[in-house]
Structure 1
Amino acid sequence: MLTVSLGHASLKGPRANNEDFVGAVTPEGAELDNKGLIAVVADGVGGHANGREAAEFTVRSLLCDYYATPDTWAIPKALDKVISAANRWLVSQSAKRAETAGMATTLSTVVLRGRRWVSAHVGDSRTYLLRDGELKRLTQDHIWEHPELDTVLSRAVGLDQRLSLDFSEGELQEDDCFILLTDGAWGTLRDARIQAIVEKFEDPQEAAFALVEAAVDGGAQDNCTALVLYVNELPRDTLRDSLARIRELPIPARLKPGQEIDGLTVLDVMHDSRVTLLYRVRLPNGDVAVLKTLHDSADPQDAAALAHEEWIARRVTDAAFPQVIPWTARSQLYYLMTWHEGESLRQRLNRGHRFSAAELADLGEKILKGLSSLHRLGIIHRDIKPDNLHLGADGRLRILDLGVAASDGQTEGERFGEINNPGTPSYMAPELFAQGDERPRANESSDLYAFGVTLYELATRKYPYGEIEPFQRPKFGDPVPATRYRPDIPEWLESILLKAVAREAVRRFETAEEVLLALQRGAHRPLQVARRRPLMERDPQLALKLLCALSLFGNVALALLLFMRN
C-alpha cells in the first residue's frame, strides 16, 4: 500500500501576522485507495485584513470537500470543483463589505493516489519534486512584473469570478520527495539551497523546520511555510489494491441449477454471452439475487474488467440502478446484484407492445433521471439501449449493465480491457465511428444520442439512420422523422427525438437535465427543430454544382434573349 511521511512548519518572519496556512489529510484503507492523500499550502494575499482567513478557509474547504466528491471523478475534476467553489465564496465575500475587499489567497496542492501524483496550483506558492538527486519545479508563478512593486499576482483564489488552475501529473517512485513552499521561503532560499537542506534530513518534519528557519535567518520579508512529503512505499500494483484482490480470485466453473457456490444456490441461467454469465441465485436468507461472473475461458483482462465494473457499480447508489450486494463469503470471481421482477424494454417490444406518446415521455423521464445521476458521478454508460433498460414489476425503471461504462476517475494506469464491445453500433453517435486519432471518447453527448435512438426505436421499431451492422462504416444523412412510421407521434415529441439524434454533437442536447426539461414542458413549450438540414450543409458539393448549373442556365437564357432582340 501507499505509505508516506510528512512534516510542515510555518513562521511569520518579520510580518506582524502569519497569513500562510498549511494542511494535509492522510487517510487509510478504502479512502486512501479511492481518493489518495492530499497536502496543501496557501498564502493569503498580503495587504488585506482577511488574507489569513482566505488562506485558512480555502485549505480547510479543500481538505474536507475533496473527500466528499465521488470516487469516480478524476482527481483534477474533483480539485477544480472544490477549489472553484471556494473561489466563488471568497469573491462573494469581497463584494459584500469594504473590509473584506481583496480577500484572496495563493494555493498549491498535491494528491498522491496509487502510483500517481496530481498537482493543482494558482498564484506564486510552489510545488517541487526531488527525485534521484534532481529538484524539479512542478508549478509556474502567476505574477505580473511591476516597476514599483516586487510582484503582482495575476491569478489567485478569490481574485476573479472565473478561476483557472494549473494541473500536472505523473508516475510516483519510491523515495520521491514533494516540497510545497510559500513565496517567503522559496524566494529567499532559491532552488539549490532548498535541495541541499532537504537532502540533509531523513525526517520530513526536521526538513520542513530547517527550510523555514533558513529562510527567516536569510532575511525573508514575508511569512515562510514549508510542507515536506516523503514517499516511503508504493502499492504493489498499478491497479487499486481492492481491484487487484478481486481479479485474482479464481473463475468459477460453469454452474447448473441446483448447484451451490459460497452458500448461494443457483436457480437458473439468466444470460450467457461470449464472455459473461448471469445467474439467478438464492441467498441463505431466501432473497433472490443476480450473480455475474465470467466463462472459465476468460483472460486476465476480462477479470480486470469485471472487477472494475463491480467497483463502478458499488458507487452508483441511485435507485435507477441495481445495487451491489456485499458478500464476504466470496471465494471466486463474481459479484452479486439485487434482482427485480419485470422485463427489459426489448422484451416488451418483442411482445408487440405499442408505446403511446405518454408512455414514451414517462419512460424518457425515468431514463434521463438515471443517466443524470450517472453523469454527475463522471460515469459514461456507453451502451444505452432497450436491452439494458429494465421495467420492474414495481413500476421503477432501472438501467442495467455497467460492463463497458467508463469513469473519468480512471487514470492511464487504470485503463481496463472491456468485457464487451464499447457500445452497440446502431446506438453509437456518428462521431464514434471516426478512425484513428480523430475518434473522440464516448461522453455525455454520446450517451444522450443513444437515449434518443432508444426512444425513437420504442416509438417506431426503427432506427433514425437505419440499422448499423458491426464493422460497418455508416454514412449519416438526415434522420428519418418518427412520424413517417408513427403519424400519431406528436410534433413536440418528434422535435425532441430529432434533436437528440442530430448527426452533429453541437446540435444535440448538452445534458440529461436539458432533455428532461424539454420532455416535461412537452406540448406547452415545444422545441423548434428543423426537419431537414439545408442542402448546403447536407451536401456542399451538390449544392455548388446546382448553383453552377443554374448560373449556366441563366447565362444561356440571357444570351438567347439578347440574340432574339438583335
Structure 2
Amino acid sequence: MPLIIDAGYATHAGPRERNEDFVGMVTPAEPELSSKGLIAAVADGVSGSEGGRQASEYTVRGLLADYYATPETWPVTQALDKVIKAINSWVQKQGSSRRELAGMATTLTSVVLRGRFYYFAHVGDSRLYLLRDGRLSRLTTDHVWDRPEMQHVLTRAVGLDSRLAIDHGMGPLQEGDVFLLATDGVWATMSEYDLCHHLSHLLGGDADASAVGTALVENAVRAGTKDNCSALVLRVATLPDENLRDAVSGSRRLPVPPKLKPGQLIDHLEVEEAIHASQATLLYRVVDRHSGRKLVLKTLHPDRADDPAERSAFAHEEWLAKRVVARFFPQVIAAEDRNWLYYLTTWHEGDTLQQRLDAGLHFTAPEAIAIGTRLIRAIGALHRRSILHRDIKPANVHLGADGELRVLDFGVAQSGLEQEDAVDAPQAGTPSFLAPEQFNGEPPSRRTDLYAAGVTLYLVLTRHYPYGEIEPFQRPKFGNPVPPSRYRPDIPLWLENVLMKAVARDPQDRYETAEEFELALERGASNPTPRRTAGMPLAKRDPAMLWRAVASMSIVLNLLLLYLIVVR
C-alpha cells in the first residue's frame, strides 16, 4: 500500500495589489515516493520589497526541484538543510547586489511526508499545524521580535542574512493526520479553535482538502486580513508498511535510556532484571504495568548512544525482527508512545542451549536430532524471507518451557529485502561457528547459516568443535573435521555422516538448503546420508582397505626382490 495523500491549496492577494505568497507541492511516483517522499511548501515574501515575490517563488521552486536532486543516502533533514541554505545564499546575494531587489527575503515553511514519518524545515512566521485525534498542534515557532509592537518584524528569513538558522523537526505519521501550512494572512485572523473547526471537516468527510483550503482563505479575507492569504492542506489517507529507511530515521529521534536497575520505570514498563549485556546492547525483563505482561526490552548500550552506525544497526535489527512472524522466533510487541530507543519482544520461560550445556546437561542422540530438526526449520523460515541470521549458536537457540524452540538475536542478521541493507562484514558472528570461507572474506550465504547449525549440533552432542575452538582475531587453518564418533562412540553412523556433511570445509560439499538438511535428519537410518569421502585420507575413510593395500604392496615388493636374487 503506497502513501496516499489528499491535498489542496488556496491563495489570495487579500487587500494588497500583489500576491507575494507562493505555494508549491510535488507528489512523485515510485520509486521517488518511497525514497524521497512528497514535499509541500509555502513562502511569504517580505512586503515592501520589489523582490518579495521573486524571493518566495524562487525559494519554493528551488526547494521542490533541488530536494529530489540530493543523494538518497542523505537523511531528509540534511537534504532540506543543504538545499535551503544554498537557496538562502543566492537570494541574499541578489538582494545585496541588485538595487531594485534590496531587502529581498521570504519566510519558508516546508514539510516532507515519507513512509510513516513527517519532517519539516521552517524559517520566518508562516506556520505548520498538525490536527490529530481532534487536537490541533502548532509544530513551528515564529521567528519575530518578542516586543509586542515588533511582532511583525522577522528575525529570521531566507535572504535576510548570509547565515541562516533553520528549525527542523520530525515525527511519526498516523492515518487521518491533517497538516496545514499557512501564511500569517490566514492564521493571524483566526483562532486555533476556528482553524481546528475548518480542518475537522476533512475528518468527517464533509469536504476535501481543496475545499477546506479555500474556506480558510475566504474566511481570512472576510475577517479583514491586511495581508496575502495562503493555505495548503494535506490529509494522510493511507500509510505504507514501515521500511528500513523509516526505521533508521525513527531511531535517530529517540534518546538511549541509561542503564536500568530492577524496580525502575521506563515509560509504563517496570524493570524486573537485567537478562544480558553485550558491548553494544542491553536486555531486560520488564513488566507492562498496563497489561501485567512480562516482556523483553532490548536497547543500545549508553556508551553507543552517539554512534550513528550502532543506531542504524539497532533499527535494522528491530525492523528484521518485526518481519519474522513465526513460532520459531520471539515476536515484537508494538510499543505505543515510546519515549526512548528500545523495542519489546515476547518473553518465554526456559533456557538457551548454551545455558543447558553450561549446567552440565548431556543430550542423547534422539534429543539432539529433535533439536536439530526444529532449528533447521527455523533457519528455513528465515531463508524463505531472504534473511540470513549469521550468528547461529547454542546461546541464540532458546528451548522454551512451552516446548517451542526459538532462535534469538538478529543483531548481525542480513537481509536482501532492501538495497541499503547490505553489510560489508563477512566475519560478523562468533568465530567458532563461522564457515571456513568467511575467514577468506567470502560473503555470508545460506550455506554459512547451515554450517553454523551443524557446528551447534556437533557441539551439543560432543562438547567439542569439529575444527577446534577458534579465538577472536585468530586466522585458523582448516584441515578435515574430526568425526564426532571420536568423542561419542554411541552416535549412529548415519547421524555422523549428516554432521560431517553439514560442517564440510568446502561449501559445495554441504547442504544447499535448509529443507535438504532437515530431510537428512528426518529420514535418519531409513535412508542414510552417504559418507563424504572426497579429500579424506584413506586411513580415515577405510582403514581395512589401507592395510590390504599395504599387504599387497609388500607381497609385490617381496616377489620382485626374489626375482632379482634368482636372476643373479
Is 1:289 the counterpart of 2:295? The answer is yes
Q: Separation in 2 of the partners of 1:370 and 1:34?
A: 32
Is 1:396 the counterpart of 2:416? The answer is no
Which amino acid is 2:273 matched to?
A: D
Q: Separation in 1 of the partners of 2:508 and 2:310?
A: 35
User: Which residue of structure 2 aligns with residue 524 of structure 1?
Assistant: 526
Alpha-carbon distance change, 441 to 417 in structure 1, aligned in 2, over 3 angstroms? closer
Q: Separation in 2 of the partners of 1:512 and 1:34?
A: 34
Is this contact kept in 2: 1:325–1:337, CA < 8 A? yes
Is 1:431 the counterpart of 2:433? The answer is no
Q: Separation in 1 of the partners of 2:364 and 2:379?
A: 22
- Which secondary structure state, in structure 2, belongs to the residue aligned with residue 328 of structure 1? coil
Write the mapping of 1:383-422 to structure 2, written as runs, cut at 5 A.
383-411=391-419, 413-415=420-422, 422=428
Alpha-carbon distance change, 394 to 452 in structure 1, aligned in 2, over 3 angstroms? same
Is 1:340 the counterpart of 2:364? The answer is no
Is this contact kept in 1: 2:256–2:300, CA < 8 A? yes
Q: Separation in 1 of the partners of 2:522 and 2:385?
A: 24
Comparing both chains, which one has the higher relative contact order based on Cα–Cα distances under 8 Å and sequence gaps of 6 or more?
Answer: 1
Q: For residues 524-548 of structure 1, what are the alpha-carbon distances to aligned partners after superposition, in whole Å with 9 as ceiling and x for unaligned?
A: 111111367344999xxxxxxxxxx
Which amino acid is 2:283 matched to?
A: L
Q: Separation in 2 of the partners of 1:487 and 1:349?
A: 19
User: Which residue of structure 2 aligns with residue 499 of structure 1?
Assistant: 501
Shift of 1:415: 4.1
Q: For residues 301-343 of structure 1, what are the alpha-carbon distances to aligned partners after superposition, in whole Å with 9 as ceiling and x for unaligned?
A: 1111000000001011011000111012211111111110000
Shift of 1:33: 4.5
1:369 to 363, 377, 380: 377
Is this contact kept in 2: 1:326–1:336, CA < 8 A? yes
Shift of 1:247: 3.3
- Which secondary structure state, in structure 2, belongs to the residue aligned with residue 297 of structure 1? helix
- Which secondary structure state, in structure 1, belongs to the residue aligned with residue 303 of structure 2? coil
Which amino acid is 1:385 matched to?
A: K
User: Which residue of structure 2 aligns with residue 315 of structure 1?
Assistant: 323
State the identity %.
Answer: 50
Q: Separation in 2 of the partners of 1:301 and 1:289?
A: 26
Shift of 1:262: 1.1
Q: Separation in 1 of the partners of 2:323 and 2:36?
A: 13
1:356 to 354, 361, 364: 364
User: Which residue of structure 2 aligns with residue 264 of structure 1?
Assistant: 269
Is this contact kept in 2: 1:257–1:268, CA < 8 A? yes
Alpha-carbon distance change, 380 to 414 in structure 1, aligned in 2, over 3 angstroms? closer
Shift of 1:483: 1.1
Shift of 1:27: 7.9
User: Which residue of structure 2 aligns with residue 487 of structure 1?
Assistant: 489
User: Which residue of structure 1 aligns with residue 463 of structure 2?
Assistant: 461
Is this contact kept in 2: 1:478–1:532, CA < 8 A? no
- Which secondary structure state, in structure 1, belongs to the residue aligned with residue 302 of structure 2? coil
User: Which residue of structure 1 aligns with residue 389 of structure 2?
Assistant: 381
Write the mapping of 1:94-113 to structure 2, written as runs, cut at 5 A.
none
- Which secondary structure state, in structure 2, belongs to the residue aligned with residue 240 of structure 1? helix
Q: Separation in 2 of the partners of 1:308 and 1:497?
A: 32
Alpha-carbon distance change, 4 to 400 in structure 1, aligned in 2, over 3 angstroms? closer
Q: Separation in 1 of the partners of 2:557 and 2:369?
A: 54
Which amino acid is 1:380 matched to?
A: L
List gaps (5 residues or longer) in structure 2. 6-27, 39-70, 74-242, 541-551
Q: Separation in 1 of the partners of 2:458 and 2:484?
A: 7
Alpha-carbon distance change, 502 to 35 in structure 1, aligned in 2, over 3 angstroms? farther
Alpha-carbon distance change, 485 to 534 in structure 1, aligned in 2, over 3 angstroms? closer
Given the two structures, how large is their TM-score scaled by the length of structure 1? 0.53
Is this contact kept in 2: 1:379–1:405, CA < 8 A? yes
Tell me how large the CA RMSD over aligned residues is. Answer: 3.6
Q: For residues 103-142 of structure 1, what are the alpha-carbon distances to aligned partners after superposition, in whole Å with 9 as ceiling and x for unaligned?
A: xxxxxxxxxxx949xxxxxxxxxxxxxxxxxxxxxxxxxx
Q: Separation in 2 of the partners of 1:384 and 1:241?
A: 28
Q: For residues 56-115 of structure 1, what are the alpha-carbon distances to aligned partners after superposition, in whole Å with 9 as ceiling and x for unaligned?
A: xxxxxxxxxxxxxxxxxxxxxxxxxxxxxxxxxxxxxxxxxxxxxxxxxxxxxxxxxx94
Q: Separation in 2 of the partners of 1:35 and 1:372?
A: 34
Alpha-carbon distance change, 324 to 34 in structure 1, aligned in 2, over 3 angstroms? farther
Q: Separation in 1 of the partners of 2:494 and 2:561?
A: 50
User: Which residue of structure 2 aligns with residue 304 of structure 1?
Assistant: 312
Which amino acid is 1:292 matched to?
A: K
Q: Separation in 1 of the partners of 2:347 and 2:365?
A: 29
- Which secondary structure state, in structure 2, belongs to the residue aligned with residue 277 of structure 1? strand
- Which secondary structure state, in structure 1, belongs to the residue aligned with residue 337 of structure 2? coil
1:449 to 435, 448, 451: 451
Which amino acid is 1:474 matched to?
A: P
Is this contact kept in 1: 2:427–2:439, CA < 8 A? no
User: Which residue of structure 2 aligns with residue 241 of structure 1?
Assistant: 246
Q: Separation in 2 of the partners of 1:283 and 1:4?
A: 34
